[in-house]
Chain A
Amino acid sequence: KNEVEQSPQNLTAQEGEFITINCSYSVGISALHWLQQHPGGGIVSLFMLSSGKKKHGRLIATINIQEKHSSLHITASHPRDSAVYICAVSFGYDMRFGAGTRLTVKP
């Protein structure tokens, strides 16, 4: 069993829809990271959180430490949000990654 599980694996949405991507983990962590990987391959860090909730523009990330679960929400989705979203957890010097969620937003 992977230490970091994401769902869904693939997600197709219409422009304007509210999107949720889920992440569950099974180890004790220092922080949880949400990353975005665009079709060109580059990876950008969106959020790092160890408790509560963070918001940046139309993106919201939440974490429930007791339940070992995090969600990434995208409000008013746009075709430019199409990317692979990766959940990762860090503990000590280690980082473990989920398999990613491929999001396609259609106009």
Chain B
Amino acid sequence: EAQVTQNPRYLITVTGKKLTVTCSQNMNHEYMSWYRQDPGLGLRQIYYSMNVEVTDKGDVPEGYKVSRKEKRNFPLILESPSPNQTSLYFCASSPGALPFEQYFGPGTRLTVT
């Protein structure tokens, strides 16, 4: 089944404790992206990747890192999480650079206390 998976789905952590949210797709897609969704602000792009070893900042990259060492995986790294990074995070992929239909992961709800 074609899908984008994210892990973990739910995470409660404390300020400053490094964490990684994994994202994996099995559709051989070139383009992958991370978004965060906050009430009243909607979805905002954090980082995106056009292909292996090619990444770039979106609208709200501060406090996040990404890497794309393999085509299928695009982990989101929070080196020192802060409470303002409490949010719902979505990973998405598409066959190529936009415009293409995007396939979204199920979301990761992160709470930083």
What residues of chain A have their CB less than 8 Å away from a CB belonging to chain B?
A: 30-31, 33, 35, 41-45, 48, 50, 86, 88, 90-100
The answer to whether A45 touches B97, judged by C-beta atoms less than 8 angstroms apart, is no
Instruction: List residues 75-105 of chain B with CB under 8 A from any CB of chain A.
Output: 88, 90, 92, 97-104
- How distant is A29 from chain B, measured CB to nearest CB, in Å? 8
With beta carbons under 8 angstroms apart, the residue of B50, B56, B100, B107 that contacts A41 is B107
- How distant is A24 from chain B, measured CB to nearest CB, in Å? 15
The answer to whether B90 touches A43, judged by C-beta atoms less than 8 angstroms apart, is yes
> Chain B: interface secondary structure?
strand
Q: Provide the bound-state CA to CA distance between A86 and B88, in Å.
A: 15
The answer to whether B50 touches A43, judged by C-beta atoms less than 8 angstroms apart, is no
With beta carbons under 8 angstroms apart, the residue of A44, A90, A99 that contacts B104 is A44
Complex interface: chain B residues within 8 A of A96 (CB) = 45, 59
The answer to whether B88 touches A95, judged by C-beta atoms less than 8 angstroms apart, is no
- How distant is A87 from chain B, measured CB to nearest CB, in Å? 10
